[in-house]
Structure 1
Amino acid sequence: MSTTTGTTWTGWWRASSAPGACWPTPDAWRRIGDARAPGRRGSVDSDLYRENILDHYRNPRNRGTLAGAQIRHQDVNPLCGDEVRFEVRLDERGRVEAAAFDGRGCAISQASASMLTEAVRGKSLDAIKAMGRDDVLALLGIPLSPVRLKCALLALKVLQAGIHRYEAERAERAGAAGSGSAAAGDAAGAGGDAPAGGA
């Protein structure tokens, strides 16, 4: 159930009922050799992070559509079929006022998207464009294989692509408006220089 007011679940995508093949198992953690793997030192912290991921997957925050969103983008991870759509509404300063997502896929991709909607609130677009894998891994708190890392980074990839498209469209509109104003000014100037009809 979404915790954000102003978002509406549309059923555009229906999440799968199980975490999916991308979910890291205890054996996978041990193969990675991370100290936080279950059965190793720090396993309590790892279990807490894992429960947090499952909570975001089963009870996603800010899932749905966002009224007044200026940024909307969607994409798919071709390796496993995970899908994410991300929407952002900006305030008057150009910072993220609210964010929402929708999608389907494994626990990692969907939990990452849910966490990201909370993490980007209040951030500038430049700050979000500067985010990378370490920021996403810090949100998740668990080690990931390269394949699962792609699942985790999908939401950030979608959001950053949406920002780039939004900024490109704004620049294009501004350029078109500037060209139109210049053309109008040239036309007005040409009209003013035209010789007056004599008697």
Structure 2
Amino acid sequence: MAAGVPAPVIGSLAQADASVLLAALPSYLSETDAAAEVTGWLAARPAADAAVQVVDACDGTEPADALRRLQAPRVLAAVLEADRTGRAKAVLRKAAVSQVTGCSHAAASMLRRIGEPAEGEEAWGLEWMLVDGALPFAGAGEQALRERLLVGPEEGRRPLDQLADRADDLWRAGHPHADEVLGALAEAVKPVDKALAKRLRKAAFKVGSAT
């Protein structure tokens, strides 16, 4: 730590705000260590309170805010698993229709993951989250963004595949950084999928035309 190298001590964030936890999780060297930190954090507060804190920490429209939102699903999954009253899920339902940028999208996304979408949630919420997930990497260069798109979970689809499914509608999401992100995505995917790159450039153009 004295040399400036992230060296998190598991358990040190048990009393930290959710925003601090979400920002710190990428610095853990393994999924096991990150999961242990989340478990310790959750043990220090009721599940419903934890849900409120995590959702509140998803507010904002800048790259650092998007990075926190990328970590929110793993924490919210642990929250829902620990919840015995159903209050945490109720927190997510309320947040999903709150129209608070970032918070509502993260909550609605989690509810979709568990197969219980909230009635009245944003019509283009999934498209918003796809744009948002690329935002922190859009300024890191084409190679970094391309690597992010090509690497998916052990089970599930790559971000690139999800983009291909919804490329034509990404401009509808109303994300404040849609123009720059879609342009960066188009350049990043061009070497691997020229047809998708063309669709993304067209979507970026539509963002500009709609504003």
* TM-score normalised by the chain length of structure 1: 0.22
Greater RCO (Cα-Cα under 8 Å, separation 6 or more) = 1
TM-score normalised over the length of structure 2? 0.21
> Which protein has the bigger helix share?
2
Say which structure is richer in strand.
1
